[in-house]
Chain A
């Protein structure tokens, strides 16, 4: 079964850090384009960043609002994608979804269940 399962969310104080994990199964992890999308409570979807597959250079891209604070990485031996979030702000409060997309159509078609990050003092 094709599946993405996020974990690592929780309550964090402003300025803190958190690492989210996304365990993948059922597809070829190494070459998959994996993306993080977030959704603030009651708000719309926001693209956070993408890790391209090995055959496409393995490059990582970030949305302007998170560049410099967020780091996307992957561990192929564990079939796991990570999102390291530093210097957390209250506006980072959101459900963070891990997604997978084909390497040609920019359309995430596999979505995890999401993990909630709450930034509050």
Chain B
């Protein structure tokens, strides 16, 4: 069982927006702003999309945005494109011995 909870799957049509939630506790998501999001295409390494809740690394489309409220962080993808179809993982710093915890991942299907 993953430390952070994500829905197993979400879907949307091209051009639409979707939001993926990531729920933790006050020891991780709720207590710190070190929340990140990763995109992983099949057979590829993960790619950092969002860090520190809402910051985008250089080169990441502004269609990707992040936010946080309480113990839940969210990734929103607007203007869905076929290439966005992938697995998405959240992560957070945690005060537990693990230091960094990941969500179980969400498979995004673009219909």
Contact = CB atoms under 8 A, between A and B. Distances in A.
Nearest to B89: A45
Contacts of B100: 35, 47, 50, 106
Interface string A48-65: 001000000000010110
Contacts, number: 63
Task: Indicate the size class of the contact surface on chain B.
Answer: 20 to 34
A9 interface: no
A36 to B, nearest CB: 11
A105 interface: yes
Interface of B: 2, 34, 36, 38, 45-48, 51-52, 57, 89, 91-93, 96-105
A14 interface: no
Contacts of A50: 99-100
Given A107-B48, A108-B48, A109-B51, A47 B38 contact: no
Interface residues of A, number: 21
